[in-house]
Chains A and B, each alone.
Chain A
Amino acid sequence: MRSGMKVSKQKNVTGTNLPENFYDSNFKTLQIQAIYFLSVVDPASGARAAVAHGRKKTPMFVAYMRTNPSTTWNRKSQLDWQGAVAGNRCHVYADAANLYLDSNFVDDLFFPKGSETTEAMVFVFTNDLE
């Protein structure tokens, strides 16, 4: 019995193998379940944002982070804050219930209250981490 699906790169799909196939149902592909945005305004030690991802297990994810007023997105699950204070750091992480954006910034050193925000854009994939 033959089953499954292959999509080749403008070749006869019969007999083609990786990497000639743009899609091959023998392999899992990265599929995006959802994209979440988390933010912490005026980050301070212990600040945390969380969002429920609705999965039963911890999902695979990739995070991009930035700090306002910067507009540059970093592909990191961790963002060091200006390098000004050792240990000041933000993290994106996941467990079986939530995605989290955690801040252990010691203090707002550079910007007036209300003007600094740490944002995370988190791509959650259908794969599980465990």
Chain B
Amino acid sequence: MSGIKISKPGIPVETAQPKDLVFSSEFNAMKVATELTGNVSTQTVTIPHGQATVPVHLVYIKGPYGIASSQCWLLVPMGTPNGGIFYSADADQTNIYIRRSAAPTAPYDSYRVFVFADPTR
């Protein structure tokens, strides 16, 4: 036997199910390779991700939406709650692309991108 498991408090680690483990070396982990931030100042934002393969990624957008708070973040793909503007994101071997349905005007929306290391190789 080799590897390590860490169970939730009160659960015997020897018999714990995966959902009751806070860590198990039996499974791979999603590792954040890099985080990228900036403003959506063009209709398509092209961001080099620096990974060898097309990476798993999550893109968040914060804008002056005028809903509960101007500091709200939404996960792409999404449309702005006040309607009209839609965001999508995709990636190839070189870049992550954030696509806005219309050309932006100042003040610009902000983005934060989480790029994950390839878990499949």
Contact = CB atoms under 8 A, between A and B. Distances in A.
A-B interface, 6 closest residue pairs, ranked by CB to CB distance from nearest: A27-B31, A77-B75, A7-B25, A29-B29, A93-B72, A28-B32
Interface residues of B, number: 37
Interface size class of A (residues with CB under 8 A): 35 or more
A63 B75 contact: yes
Nearest to A18: B117
Nearest to A100: B68
Specify the main secondary structure of chain B where it touches its partner: loop
Contact of A22 (B29, B60, B75): B29
Interface string B61-73: 0100001110111
A39 B79 CA distance: 20
Nearest to B32: A28
Given A60-B114, A62-B58, A22 B28 contact: yes
A18 B28 CA distance: 11
Interface of A: 7, 10, 18-19, 22-24, 27-31, 48, 50, 58, 60-63, 76-78, 87, 89, 91-96, 98, 100, 102, 104, 127, 129-130
Nearest to B28: A22
Contacts of A28: 31-32
Contacts of B73: 58, 93-95, 129-130
Contacts of A60: 58, 60, 114
18 contacts: A7-B25, A23-B25, A28-B31, A30-B32, A50-B68, A60-B114, A78-B79, A87-B83, A91-B78, A91-B81, A92-B75, A93-B74, A95-B72, A96-B71, A100-B72, A102-B81, A127-B114, A129-B62
Interface string B82-121: 0100000000000000000000000000001010011111
Given A22-B26, A58-B73, A78-B77, 11 more contacts: A7-B3, A7-B25, A19-B121, A27-B33, A27-B117, A30-B29, A78-B74, A91-B67, A100-B72, A129-B62, A129-B73
